[in-house]
């Protein structure tokens, strides 16, 4: 354990950073398990897809050692989408359980269950065909539905206010890392003695390693951690929020009415939904666009497939650095910081999406560069709306994330369906431009509402009986009270 001095700012790594690093690998595993089927389908495909199968398995002799399957495109779509059928269901319950009973046990149980299901995937396919695999994927979705809400609940307890964006970025950039690692290693694993089943076996075993580390080093709150220093605990308690954190076992009932009539929350809900529409339009439809318009098969190259995720992860840490630079300027508020980075993460991709539709067919390199930057720059939203749940309500951050993430994932499922209705002739670039204009409109309107109605003050309904009294006594701002200005925070000291 790295000891920390006064206010825990004289050392680079504190216990709070260890929690976020563990969450980074939690998200890495979750997303690796989420995308493993899409890459494994190429290796497990039989004679009906021999070209793709041979691209992954170097020889027919190696392929013969493992069961191969012939799937129709419809069956593949069911297998790939079934994960999200379960994923949406447990979002809100997961947030509630995390805020009530703590994130540590919830994440541990969820990932243990998902690791076991990942290990059972090849067997389910062998014994029950694609239908059994769909059942397993639905169950995996159920186990992962609580990951984002629980991570937000954990951050609300562990993250000092002035480090919230940085620590959230550390956690959630694990999603890109897991995707990159799966795309980069799946071909090698499929070519090894383990064959395509090894993609699931290796990933499942990694899950148990993480669970062991999580059990030893993690805690739901700083107060429960046995190895945290008094100095770091004091620093977190004094700087993580304006209001008082409620005891999880004595929390007031979730103020559903106040939540769903709160304009700051509703704007957050809308921007999360519009973000997922645009982002998943990029991730799911751009490969088809690039192949039909520019004759570039992104999916056939692990380098090209992982490039947007790699750039996104790199830029996420660049934006963290930029955020710290802005924070050092005491005249820049948290509200400006959130809205600035959210605007970067939405309106620049909005413009580049429109531009992508007008890149000449002979200039495929420019199209790839523009695509990569469009996906990469969206990492700025980690410092924008994606951490705003904690700003609004540290006590109910997990539930808020569960609500917005559930709705947003419905949008991510609707986006490809809408594209299918618009694009009837994949070689027709004008139809693709319509798709990009629709996504750009969602990016524009979502961020506009967030800029106008979004807030960073803790809402009164977070702790209705405690926030008003304590904030007034401390001279700190309340939601809707413009007469009180926030006390600047510099170097962790108010």
Question: Could you write out the DSSP letters of every residue in 99-129?
Answer: HHH-HHHHHHHHHHHHHHHHHHHHHHHHHHH
Angle value at C-alpha 319, between 318 and 321, nearest 5 degrees: 65
The secondary element (H helix, E strand) that includes residue 485 is none
The full set of domain ranges for the chain reads 13-47+66-246, 257-460
91-101 and 103-144 helices cross at what angle (nearest 10)? 170
* Topology match between the domains 13-47+66-246 and 257-460: yes
Give Cβ neighbours of residue 70 (< 8 Å, ≥ 6 apart). 45, 46, 47, 48, 49
Please tell me the predicted confidence (pLDDT) of residue 68: 74
**CA 5 distance to own-chain centroid:** 32
Token pair belonging to 387 = 């951490």
Please tell me the predicted confidence (pLDDT) of residue 470: 42
The secondary element (H helix, E strand) that includes residue 383 is none
Helices (H), 357-396: 364-377, 388-392
Q: How far apart are alpha carbons 144 and 198 in whole angstroms?
A: 21
Q: What is the CA radius of gyration of the chain?
A: 23
| Structural domain 13-47+66-246, CATH architecture | Up-down Bundle (1.20)
pLDDT tens, the chain, 494 aa long: 434 344 444 456 899 999 999 999 999 999 999 988 888 887 787 544 434 434 443 433 444 455 677 887 778 878 888 898 999 999 999 999 998 899 999 999 999 999 999 999 999 999 999 999 999 999 999 999 999 999 999 999 999 988 999 999 999 999 999 999 998 888 888 888 888 999 999 999 999 999 999 999 999 999 999 999 999 999 998 887 645 555 555 667 889 999 999 999 999 999 999 999 998 888 777 778 888 888 887 666 667 778 888 999 999 999 999 998 888 877 788 899 999 999 999 999 999 999 988 999 888 889 888 888 888 999 999 999 999 999 999 999 999 999 999 999 999 888 888 888 898 888 899 999 999 999 999 999 999 999 999 999 999 998 765 444 444 344 444 454 444 344 343 444 44
Q: How far apart are alpha carbons 136 and 112 in whole angstroms?
A: 14
3-class secondary structure, 243: coil
User: Running DSSP on this structure, what letter comes out for residue 425?
Assistant: S
Is the separation of the CB atoms in 358 and 433 below 8 Å?
yes
Helices and strands (DSSP H and E) totals, the chain: 20, 0
Condensed to tens digits (0 to 9), the pLDDT of residues 192-211 reads 888 899 999 999 999 999 99
Whole-angstrom distance between the N-terminal and C-terminal Cα of the chain?
Answer: 27
Token pair belonging to 215 = 């059990």
Burial of 486 by CB count in 10 Å (0-12 exposed, 13-18 middle, 19+ buried)? middle
Is the separation of the CB atoms in 382 and 319 below 8 Å?
yes
Give Cβ neighbours of residue 403 (< 8 Å, ≥ 6 apart). 91, 92, 95, 259, 269
Strand partners, 490: 493
The CATH H-level superfamily of 257-460 is: MFS general substrate transporter like domains (1.20.1250.20)
Condensed to tens digits (0 to 9), the pLDDT of residues 326-340 reads 888 777 888 999 999
Please tell me the predicted confidence (pLDDT) of residue 143: 96
Angle value at C-alpha 141, between 136 and 147, nearest 5 degrees: 140
Token pair belonging to 137 = 């994927």
Please tell me the predicted confidence (pLDDT) of residue 65: 55
For the chain, the residue count is 494
Condensed to tens digits (0 to 9), the pLDDT of residues 247-303 reads 555 667 889 999 999 999 999 999 999 999 998 888 777 778 888 888 887 666 667
The total of other beta-carbon atoms located within 10 Å of residue 22's CB is 20
């Amino acid at each position: 354990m790295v000891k920390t001095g006064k206010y825990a700012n004289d050392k680079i790594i504190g216990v709070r950073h260890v929690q976020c690093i563990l969450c980074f690998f939690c998200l890495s595993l979750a997303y690796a398990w989420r995308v493993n089927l899409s890459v494994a389908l190429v290796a497990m495909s039989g004679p009906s897809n021999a070209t793709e199968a041979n691209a992954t398995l170097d020889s027919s002799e190696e392929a013969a050692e493992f069961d191969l399957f012939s799937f129709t495109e419809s069956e593949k779509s069911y297998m790939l989408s079934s994960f999200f059928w379960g994923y949406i269901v447990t979002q809100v319950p997961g947030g509630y359980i995390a805020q009530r009973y703590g994130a540590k046990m919830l994440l541990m149980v969820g990932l243990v269950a998902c690791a076991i299901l990942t290990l059972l995937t090849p067997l389910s396919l062998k014994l029950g065909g694609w239908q059994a695999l769909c059942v397993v994927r639905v169950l995996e979705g159920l186990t992962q539905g609580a990951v984002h809400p629980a991570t937000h609940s954990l951050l609300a307890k562990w993250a000092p206010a002035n480090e919230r964006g940085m620590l959230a970025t550390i956690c959630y950039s694990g999603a890109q890392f897991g995707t990159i690692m799966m795309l980069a290693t799946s071909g090698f694993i499929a070519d090894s003695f383990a064959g395509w089943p090894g993609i699931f076996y290796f990933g499942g075993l990694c899950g148990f390693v993480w669970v062991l580390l999580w059990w030893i080093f993690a805690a739901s709150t700083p107060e429960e951690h046995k190895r945290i220093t008094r100095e770091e605990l004091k620093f977190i308690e004094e700087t993580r929020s304006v209001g008082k954190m409620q005891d999880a076992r004595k929390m007031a009932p979730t103020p559903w009415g106040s939540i769903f009539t709160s304009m700051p929350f509703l704007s957050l809900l809308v921007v999360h939904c519009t973000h997922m529409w645009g982002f998943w339009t990029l991730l799911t439809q751009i490969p088809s666009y690039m192949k039909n318009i520019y004759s570039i098969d992104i999916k056939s190259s692990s380098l090209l497939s992982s490039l947007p995720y790699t750039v996104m992860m790199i830029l996420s840490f660049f934006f963290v650095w930029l955020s710290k630079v802005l924070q050092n300027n005491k005249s820049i508020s948290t509200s400006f910081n959130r809205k600035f980075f959210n605007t970067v993460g939405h309106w620049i991709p909005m413009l580049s999406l429109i531009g992508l539709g007008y890149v000449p067919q002979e200039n495929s390199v420019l199209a790839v560069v523009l695509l990569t930057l469009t996906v990469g720059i969206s990492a700025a939203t980690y410092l924008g709306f994606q951490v705003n749940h904690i700003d609004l309500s540290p006590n109910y951050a997990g539930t808020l994330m569960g609500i917005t993430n559930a709705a947003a994932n419905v949008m991510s499922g609707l986006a490809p369906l809408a594209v299918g209705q618009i694009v009837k002739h994949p070689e027709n670039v004008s139809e693709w431009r319509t798709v990009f204009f629709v996504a750009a409109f969602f990016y524009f309107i979502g961020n506009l509402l967030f800029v106008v109605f979004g807030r960073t003050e803790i809402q009164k309904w977070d702790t209705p009986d405690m926030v008003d009294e304590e904030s007034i006594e401390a001279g700190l701002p309340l939601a809707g009270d413009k007469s009180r200005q926030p006390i600047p925070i510099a170097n962790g000291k108010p």
